[in-house]
A = this chain, B = another copy of it.
């Protein structure tokens, strides 16, 4: 997709030694930010080039200076979003050895991401839907397989088995549970940070002691 975009390096003589396209980069960045929000709010099809252009303060034609197509914008946003999320998760899980530790860090990281930039979580939720729905995206993104968090989930389950926290046979069950939790936490609490906070606390408690963590009577 990027293959065709030729970067013609016009030797700007005005600013010596400075990157010639500082403004350009800023515009491009703004475009990406706006696009992330739009895609998150209205989906791929519901987002129009004009919408993005207007909110970024340029015209639709100018978009094609930075991206080769609407699809290209989407892919770029997705690329950046997933890389950012990946780094955050990687850093967060770095020091954790136990499965439970990793897991809790994962949930907290998801929440922190959501707090830092809600548009990101909203985009990712949108992305999961649209990458299956929209033909263009199905074709254009198929390779990328499935998002980052799946990788972490797998890593996490492996750690649990290795450390004896869970039995070997339970791997697939825990894997399913993790998927449910991570996706559920994203999709069920879009723009509801407080709800997400409570949910995470509930999940943590249950994971430790089962649902009756607080029971006044023994579980039937």
Residues on A lying within 8 angstroms of B by beta carbon are 1-11, 25, 29, 32-33, 36, 41-43, 45-46, 80-81, 84, 98-101, 103, 116-117, 119-120, 125-126, 128-130, 132-134, 163-167, 169-170, 172-177, 179-185, 187-190, 195-196, 198-203, 205-217, 219-220
- A133: which B residues are within 8 A, CB to CB? 41-43, 46, 126
Closest to A125 in B: B129
Please tell me which one of the listed residues B1, B11, B189 contacts residue A120 in the complex, with CB atoms under 8 A apart.
B1
Which B residue's beta carbon lies closest to that of A134? B46
Q: Is the CB of B203 within 8 A of A169?
A: no
Q: Are A211 and B46 in contact (CB under 8 A)?
A: no
A109 CA to B43 CA in the complex, in Å?
Answer: 30
Most buried by B among A41, A170, A201, A217: A170
A215 pairs with B164, CB closer than 8 A:
yes
Q: Which of B1, B80, B174, B184 contacts A1 (CB 8 A)?
A: B80
Q: How far is the CB of A93 from chain B (nearest CB, A)?
A: 16
Residue from the list B6, B103, B117, B184 in contact with A181, Cβ < 8 A? B184
A77 to chain B, nearest CB (A): 10
The reply to whether B208 and A170 contact each other, CB–CB distance below 8 Å, is no
Check A196 against B176 for contact (C-beta < 8 Å).
yes
Question: Roughly how many angstroms separate A40 CA and B216 CA in the complex, as a whole number?
Answer: 43
The residues of B that contact A103 with a CB separation of less than 8 Å are 211
Can you add 20 more A-B contacts, CB < 8 Å, to A45-B46, A179-B199, A208-B210?
A1-B80, A2-B11, A4-B8, A5-B9, A7-B25, A43-B129, A45-B45, A98-B220, A100-B220, A125-B129, A132-B190, A165-B212, A166-B214, A174-B202, A176-B196, A176-B199, A176-B202, A180-B185, A180-B202, A206-B206
Query: In whole angstroms, how far apart are the Cα atoms of A189 and B81 in the complex?
Result: 23
